[in-house]
């Protein structure tokens, strides 16, 4: 009777489509497209980005907001502007899902 538990058929799950990551060949192509635009304004702060600076090819409309990976959606961004912007998006998502726990403990003064 105890062996019946282990004789069950395995559960077959449908394979989920892997999430497409940004990087590798796609980012190399994006940098080549954006390099032709330089010098240009940073898509984050509006400052000038030149080829001599540290810069990233950034999406004008964010990928998490359904922004396409088309050449018209790429623009230059200072490396600092791009990396700090990503941290703010992640923090906003994390902080938006947090729920403050309700206080269940009764608060009364201790007299002893």
| Residue 41 pLDDT | 95
What length is written for the chain? 112
User: Of the candidates 47, 34, 41, 107, which has an alpha carbon nearest to the alpha carbon of residue 74?
Assistant: 34
Query: What is the C-alpha radius of gyration for the chain, rounded to an integer number of angstroms?
Result: 25
pLDDT in the model for residue 36: 93
In angstroms, the CA 42 to CA 81 distance is 8
Per-residue pLDDT 10s for the chain (112 aa) are 555 555 656 656 556 655 555 567 878 888 999 999 999 999 989 999 999 999 999 888 887 777 788 888 999 999 998 888 766 666 776 777 666 666 666 667 776 6
The whole-angstrom separation of Cα 23 and Cα 72 is: 18
**Positive/negative CA dihedral, 12, 17, 22, 26:** positive
């Amino acid at each position: 009777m105890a062996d019946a538990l282990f004789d069950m058929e395995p559960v077959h799950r449908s394979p989920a489509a892997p999430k497409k990551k940004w990087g590798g060949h796609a980012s190399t192509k994006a940098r080549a497209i954006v390099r032709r635009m330089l010098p240009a304004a940073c898509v984050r702060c509006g400052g000038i980005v030149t080829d001599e600076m540290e810069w990233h090819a950034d999406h004008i409309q964010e990928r998490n907001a359904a922004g396409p990976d088309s050449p018209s959606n790429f623009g230059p961004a200072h490396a600092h502007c791009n990396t700090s912007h990503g941290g703010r998006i992640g923090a906003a998502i994390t902080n938006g899902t947090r729920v403050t726990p309700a206080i269940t403990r009764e608060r009364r003064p201790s007299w002893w």
